[in-house]
């Protein structure tokens, strides 16, 4: 496999962001209104509100993505993490995760939170491997599919 580069959001990659996330959501769940809001207007709803979107690029292909959605100063939600099925099995998700944590620490953030579902065993394994711990799920989480909330204190 060619080298994996982590690159920042550019408007030309907005379609890749939506496609990668729609692909896995439709495979395991459904695309919820909150997902649609974030994916169809990612620049307005993530970037312009102080968040970030990154991509894993292999050659000329976008192989994966994730976003950091600002919740408060120094507090971000790791969301919309996805790797294209054609690139799975090459540890791209782990490269994205390590980049995410390094980026958060470099910027002096306090913590990251994420929402997931326990049927996504590989994802939960990776989150735990990188130090995320399960915390209580609030009464009305942002995603209906979310049955686990995890946090990483930086």
Domain of 109, in residue numbers: 4-113
Give domain status of residue 130, yes or no.
no
Confidence of residue 1 (pLDDT cuts 50, 70, 90): low
Q: How far apart are CA 153 and CA 30, in angstroms?
A: 30
Pair 77, 83: CB distance under 8 Å? no
Q: What is the pLDDT of residues 25-82, one digit of tens each?
A: 999 899 999 999 999 999 999 999 999 999 999 999 999 999 999 999 999 999 999 9
- Cβ-based neighbours of 56, under 8 Å, separated by 6 or more: 4, 5, 6, 62, 63, 64, 65, 83, 87, 92, 95, 96
CATH number of the domain enclosing 43:
3.40.630.30
Give domain status of residue 108, yes or no.
yes
Domain count across the chain:
1
Q: How far apart are CA 54 and CA 116, in angstroms?
A: 19
HEC states along 124-146? HHHHHHCCCEEECCCCCCCCCCC
Q: Over range 10-15, report the average pLDDT.
A: 96
Q: What is the pLDDT of residue 69?
A: 97
- In this predicted structure, the answer to whether residue 117 has a pLDDT above a threshold of 90 is yes
Give domain status of residue 129, yes or no.
no
Average pLDDT, the chain: 95
Pair 95, 49: CB distance under 8 Å? no
Strand ranges (E), 4-141: 4-8, 52-58, 61-72, 75-83, 111-116, 133-135
Give domain status of residue 27, yes or no.
yes
Give domain status of residue 140, yes or no.
no
Q: What is the pLDDT of residues 84-113, one digit of tens each?
A: 999 999 999 999 999 999 999 999 999 999
Question: DSSP assignment, residue 29?
Answer: S
Give domain status of residue 127, yes or no.
no
Based on DSSP, count helices (H) and strands (E) in the chain, helices before strands: 5, 7
């Amino acid at each position: 496999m060619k080298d994996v580069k982590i690159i920042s959001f550019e408007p030309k990659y907005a379609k890749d962001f939506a496609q990668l996330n729609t692909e896995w959501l439709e495979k395991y769940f459904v695309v919820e209104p909150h997902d649609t809001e974030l994916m169809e207007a990612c620049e307005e709803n993530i970037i312009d509100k102080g968040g970030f979107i990154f991509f894993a690029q292999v050659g000329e292909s976008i192989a994966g993505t994730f976003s950091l959605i600002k919740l408060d100063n120094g507090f971000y939600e790791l969301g919309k993490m996805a790797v294209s099925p054609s690139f799975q099995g090459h540890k791209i998700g782990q490269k994205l995760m390590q980049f995410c944590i390094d980026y958060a620490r470099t910027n002096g953030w306090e913590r990251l939170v994420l929402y997931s579902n326990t049927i996504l065993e590989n994802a939960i394994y990776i989150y735990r491997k990188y130090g995320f711990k399960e915390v209580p799920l609030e009464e009305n989480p942002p995603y209906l599919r979310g049955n686990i909330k995890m946090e990483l204190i930086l």
